[in-house]
Chain A
Amino acid sequence: MRRELIYMDAKSSKFWNIQLEGSSHTVTYGRIGSAGQSATKPFASEELARKDAEKLIKEKLGKGYVEAGAEAPQTGQLLSVAFPSIIHKDEVHRNAGTFVGQRVVDYDSAKEPRSDVAYRFRSDYDHDTMMEDLEHFASSAVAAQVTALVIGTWQGGDSGEDSGAIIAALASHAARFPRLVALYLGDIVSDEIEMSWIQQVDLSPLLEAFPQLQLLRARGGEGLELSRPCHANLRALALETGGMNARVVNSLGKAEFPNLEYLELWLGTEDYGRTTSVEDLQPILQGGRFPKLKYLGLRNCDIIDEIAQALPGAPLLQQLETLDLSLGTLGDQGGRALLEIRGPLKRLNLHHNYLSPEMVRKLKDMPLSLDATNPSNMEADEEDRYVAVGE
């Protein structure tokens, strides 16, 4: 027996393989791209070795590992395990260490570019060379090989500039990046710019410039638009905001994303620009809009209790495998509604919540994998509830 598991988040991309041979098993693990290290463990019998292997596999699956074999990448196809980025609250404060399984490296025009990393382009306080760097990289031979790009802060020491110029630059170089399938626009942490201050613009030109794109992750809700939400190949869309404008969600309600498997929306709070309401989400929740959708994230949201009421009866729930309501202010009112969910749902992410221990116990009885953890530094206060990323 052999099982191959992988794990990816914003910090790491790891593999874990186990090979069962007679009365021993060999575990090999490490960073994806490395050879890793192996350990063989002997047992008194085949039965014991098999049982131990099964126990280890179960533990790994519980920690978020997924089967690598089940979705071995065909040429150019992103693994869906690479779609999520930030899982837990503390990761919000870190610049991406990995992106879609590749190590993120700040581009340095003085060095020979490589094709096995995801380069990050950002404007530094001391020299704002992001545009020149991007130009430099686009004219290198490696550009044709690159599958993932990360754009960090484009505002240098200032806080007023929007993403229009960098989007235009990316779009104008699109032909140089024929294999680009994953783009992160806004790997920006709060010490650089608060999420609700990041100035975005209409992302449609990016979708149009990169028809082969599979994953688009963008951070920042100010000015964010999706005026022409059409894309034949997009499989994952993540929009992280401190406050989601209803216009964006309304656009998504009319979107043509026939291949979308993953939709992650950080709705935020009214104080920081959220105008999205439960009603605005209805066209999405009605189902049919995204026939392949398996993951829905409604995260960092201060009306998540209210939204939860609409979920059990939503037709979309009959196709989802993962529902992610994490980083918000979910309390028992929302928890109670979630208990009514029936259907194929396999995973429920409620990390960073205000649920009572009794409610967590009830939710744990549901036949699915539940993350109801809280960050260690969370201020547990029934009266004042905060989303993970406010100010």
Chain B
Amino acid sequence: MDARRKEPTVKRQGATLRLGLLGLAAAAVSLVGAGTAFADYAPQPGDVVGVGGDTPQYALEFGADGDTIGDAGFNASGAYNRLVTFNATADGNGRSAYTNSATTGTASVALNPTDVLRAGTYPVQRVQSSGAGITALLADTNAQEVINFVFSASLPSPAQQTTAANNGWGYLHVVEIGTDSVQIAVDSTATHAPAGLSAADLLGIYTGTYTTWNQLPGNSAGSTDTIIPLIPPSGSSIYKTFIADLTTAHGGTAPVLSASVKTVEQNDPTAITGATTPADAIVPFSAARLALWNDGYFHNPATVFPGSTTALTPGVVLLSGTPGDGTVYDSPITDYVIFRQSDASSTTPFEPGGSRNWVNTLFSNPGGSTPFFGKGAGQALIAAAGVTPLYSDLGDVHS
């Protein structure tokens, strides 16, 4: 009798255990976050995609996704359609990509990195500069847009505005979101550079007139070491700004750079710290990017997941002192967002249940409530990226 009764008892106990486990499992499942990991995100129809230059890339990235110290970006609301930005640099630490010299035995050259701008499309060459971004936008003429906007440190040219009009877009609409500046970076540990360098000093250095520090005006007591002038790639906004300033200092004539000028990655402190003699190296650098470095955004890329807890230090500082012959070099640079004017008048809401299109929601909404990048929350994230926020809806403008 007891034996017969034990069987259902065991069954009941098993059932009880199963129910309990089921309950616990349900409870545990409820604790699992919604943040499921997935591969690189390929934007879907309805997502707003931006490409552009290195200099403003983090301002847009922070605006979309927030910063790393708990400040939420636009996408934090869990919007059905998302703001997606593709950085100019293929690397999260802002580094350029190069071919593999270790296995090929040949010297590394700049790689053409790619990205997938829309789900279902082939990888295409990554837009790596502001100019390339505007060119790509103008070439995106299909009814269903691949690229919706460009983040750029330069304005569209008159010819590009004409192309936009010919594309039936009206014009390229420009919105200023912030400002940055190009200054001269030197090694923070020890440098032979004087406290400040003027545009005239730099013109002399980069054209080979001044090759040692003591040749600089007002610096005869300076080091006799040879100056190592570095410059970012010619397609970069830092290069363009710097060369434009040297051209101005040269009386409007483009300077011929000395053979001693070496090309390095844009906004990369290791160009200085990794130089043969860091104390003699100088390079034009984005003030905003260095602010991001100083804020501890970048971590050691050699550390595997979950990554290093110690932030990298840049090892460089910007010259801010008064040079012997004038004003320290400090050239303003503006960060823009550029989109088709035809999108500004679209009647398609950005989000389900919404009434504003994506341009009105994010960048420009004349007569309506302030778009995300113009209001406090968006501007604060731009500032968190090191850029000085300054919102201005410029409309139809060109360089």
Please indicate whether A and B come from the same complex rather than being unrelated chains: no
Residues in chain A within 8 A of chain B (CB atoms): none
Residues in chain B within 8 A of chain A (CB atoms): none
